[in-house]
Amino acid sequence: MAAGALALLVFYNLLWKKRNFNTKIKGRVLPEPSGALPILGHVLQLSRKVQFQRTMAAFADKYGPIFLIRMGMHPTLIVSNHEIAKECFTTNDQTFASRPLFNQGKYLGYNNASYGFASYGAYWRHIRKVARLEILSTQRVEALKHTVFASEINIMIEDLFLFCKNNGGNSKVDMTQCIENLPFNVMLKVMTGRRYSVSFHDAAKGEVKHLKDMTNEFMYLFGQVEASDLFPFLGWFNFQTKYLKSMKRLAKEMDELSESWIEEHTTMKQKGDQTFDQNNFIDILLSVIEEKNNYGYSRDTIIKASITSLVLGATDTTATTILWLLSLLLNNKHTLKLVQEELDLHVGRERKVEYSDINNLVYLQATVKETLRLYPPGPVLAPHLANEDCQVQGYHVPKGTRLIINAWKMHRDPNVWPEPEEFKPERFLTTHKGVDASGKHFVLLPFGSGRRSCPGYTFATQLMYLTIARLLQGFDFTMPSNEPIDMSETISISLSRETPLEVCLTPRLSPELYA
């Protein structure tokens, strides 16, 4: 065993040198931070105590907006400029349309059957078509926002009002728990067709608690760096870390729950039972995914992979953004006042704000965009993989190179965003009017761009807009103390708040408007 390991290390060292001194390069050689070690690459220069996007931003300040680092055995292109990102997602979009293989995709993504993990090819094109045309189409989201979205938001607002009423008006509320429950409830209703009641002030129980715990653990494990992903030879020795063991256990638990949902819906469909909402995603997937010709995956595997990616993707992104927005507004009371004045002007206090009002609430939309600029849910976009040699900005990028876009750094480019650290929604009504987060404007990429952009962009933003509008129309927000809201961030794959957001709420509408 030891001799075999030594031989592999020698082999990988020679391979590393070959990559490092390739003389058949077509184009300029990418700049690279000093200090890379054989096999390890730049891994020792990364710290678990510093966010990856900040470390890469510091490298960019020194080496420029495009450079190469070595994540163990894997050369990785880091881009932190919107013009270079545009070249990657337009000129080289097909070249970078694949994904690297990670243990997360193998164990938590059903052997890469999940849309986000799947490699570029016929299967990925098939599942993308299903996602965009059947599950997350404009027509589907339009129907959902007037039914499930509005219903769940109404329940949350009424819940908050009753909590305030029962606790003397101006009440201290844990908004983190409240906001995290909303997209969770929405996705469960959309996915299964039935409502799992989770109130913000009641602890989740039973199946709901189990699912919430699994969701939280999934997001944690998704952001961990597994040793064998950096050093593939470790996988040949069946090297088991605590993260790998946790992934395997969690994968089994998620599979059992998803399997039970599919069996339940299949049985009810055969009986003609219409207890559940017939537009639920599981029934749709059962109808459109065929039993055969699924590129090596079973129908149930594809459905379970889709369930997992949809539930986890939507819940984290939406809640994270809303919580950052509320935090920013509380620390910028003038902006909070302007948003509420806009609501009073265009909607008033005699009726509930509705989706038909959102187009008139341009300042509210600007606050959402500015929040996504400062706190993109994924500060670095999901890694891409070059499936052939290409050139970016005249630099040679070999096949097999990974690509990471540092959206967090791009969104703070002072040449694009004057006073980039300041919260200024007005910029989206003046200098950046017309810029949105859909991926068409490369200066703002919280949801990615190109073939691999997030298909849930419309779903997430539509849920955000009405949620924020209803909250700010319905309640006055104040801080529990004279201290500013803590804006500390977690060190993880998603840019989340490190501490719970506690606020004091006072209802500002007539009681009948909360029912």
Q: Which amino acid is at 354?
A: E
Residues 413 and 41: their CA atoms lie apart, in Å, by 28
Cα distances (angstroms) measured from residue 146 to each of 55, 142, 152, 413, 463 = 43, 7, 10, 38, 10
Give the other-Cβ count within 10 Å of 56's Cβ: 24
308 in Cβ contact with 109 (< 8 Å): yes
Residues in the chain: 515
And the tokens for 29? 């050689």
**Minimal CA–CA distance to 53: which of 501, 499, 490?**
490
Helix (H) or strand (E) holding 468: helix 457-474
Beginning with the edge strand found earlier in the chain, give each strand of the sheet holding 171-174 in spatial order.
Answer: 171-174, 502-507, 475-478
383 in Cβ contact with 446 (< 8 Å): no
Burial 322-344 (b: 16+ CB within 10 A, else e): bbbbbbbbbebeebbebbbebbe
And the tokens for 61? 């300040």
Residue 390 is labelled as binding a ligand: no
Residues 92 and 35: their CA atoms lie apart, in Å, by 29
And the tokens for 234? 């470790």
Residues 137 and 292: their CA atoms lie apart, in Å, by 24
Residues 2 and 340: their CA atoms lie apart, in Å, by 67
Per DSSP, which regions of 383-451 are E strands? Answer: 384-385, 390-392, 395-397, 402-405
Residues 168 and 349: their CA atoms lie apart, in Å, by 21
CB-side neighbour CA atoms (13 Å) of 464: 29
DSSP code, position 512 = G
Helical residues (DSSP H) of 71-147, grouped into ranges: 82-89, 103, 122-130, 138-144
Q: What is the separation, in whole angstroms, between the first and last Cα of the chain?
A: 69
Burial class (CB in 10 A: 0-12, 13-18, 19+), 9: middle
259 in Cβ contact with 304 (< 8 Å): yes
134 in Cβ contact with 284 (< 8 Å): yes
423 in Cβ contact with 442 (< 8 Å): no
Residues 1 and 18: their CA atoms lie apart, in Å, by 26
Binding site feature residues: 454
Binding site feature residues for heme: 454
